[in-house]
Structure 1
């Protein structure tokens, strides 16, 4: 989604009203229950949340030019990788094997065999199709991407074929170094 994201793709930047900011906070907690204890650190009450509208109906939510959230149309929020690095326990995650790292860092989606092989790991508790997940790698501490499950984790284990996770943003993509 952000492989070649540049400043030219930005249309406008506006401040978000406080009522909308409260609504976004409640939607975030509903989508990611692990964020509830730290939601006031993620979006402080006295800070100004800004909305950056971009090409292809992509919205970026920022605080002090630090991108927190990404939203495409009215899809679920996708946390930025920096937000996932700050609060890794707050987001559900899947782990890929070492062989998938170079492909993910070049923008490829994650295939099911990369999630079910020896070095990979899916969580014990099932995650539903369409859920947003952080993607970690075998032997690495931090997330290298965030994406959306195209199949539930139980289905990924059963089918073990095709694309399992659509990558939204990854380390080093156009969004990683973006400043407005």
Structure 2
């Protein structure tokens, strides 16, 4: 399994912290304040997303116009927003990087938008299993009977999860 190579890391300016937190707020609302810190570092890697260290822990990732917590960020600061809940039968697949399929989804938060990041959580304890990109809006996902609903981009045990800094 290829490891993520850390090329550089540097502390970002206050203006960049504000811009990052604004992007995060547009995704998860007021819960973005949980990630506020005076020291946020940007890590340059060969990963497909930008990684940010909040107090030396990889808690945030960003791509394009969105920012979202990593799984470590979601474990450390559980969020009620942007949740897709899967049943017990889907846990092992989603935790190993599979996309979330509609038959296994038991609950969908109404704030989910197509093309935006969501957290995939398990039904019993609400623990995050993956971060993915929603393939449909919440209303369309509710109507969907089968097929992919969330494309997985970060899951338990992947390179971002195992990143040692």
* Superposition TM-score tier, normalisation by shorter sequence: 0.7 to 0.9
Which of these residues, 28, 36, 40, is aligned with residue 43 of structure 1?
Answer: 36
Q: TM-score, with normalisation over the residues of structure 2?
A: 0.87
**Equivalent position of 2:127 in the other structure:** 142
C-alpha distance in structure 1 between counterparts of 2:22 and 2:142, whole Å: 32
- Say whether 1:52 aligns with 2:43: yes
Count of residues in Structure 1 that have an aligned counterpart in Structure 2: 165
Whichever structure has more helix as a proportion of its residues is 1
Superposed CA deviations along residues 28-76 of structure 1, whole A, max 9, x for unmatched, are 122211315xx1x4222xx32111112255310002320121123x141
1:117-156 matched pairs, under 5 angstroms: 120-123=106-109, 125=110, 127-156=112-141
**Runs of 4 or more above 6 Å deviation:** none
Matched residue, 2:62: 71
Pairwise CA distance, 1:126: 5.3
RMSD between superposed Cα atoms in Å = 2.0
Stretches of structure 2 lacking an aligned partner (at least 5 in a row): none
Point out which structure has higher relative CO (alpha carbons under 8 A, 6+ apart). 1
Residues 87/34 of structure 1: CA separation in 2 closer, same or farther (3 Å cut): farther
Query: Could you say which structure has the larger radius of gyration?
Result: 1
Distance (Å, rounded) in 2 between the aligned partners of 1:107 and 1:179 = 20
Alpha-carbon distance between aligned partners in 2 of 1:17 and 1:140, rounded to the nearest angstrom: 37
Larger strand proportion, structure 1 or 2? 2
TM-score (norm 1): 0.80
- State the alpha-carbon separation in 1 of the partners of residues 126 and 68 from structure 2: 20
Residues 151 and 164 of structure 1 are in contact (CA less than 8 Å); yes or no, is this contact kept in structure 2? Answer: yes
Structure 1 portions without partners, runs of 5+: none
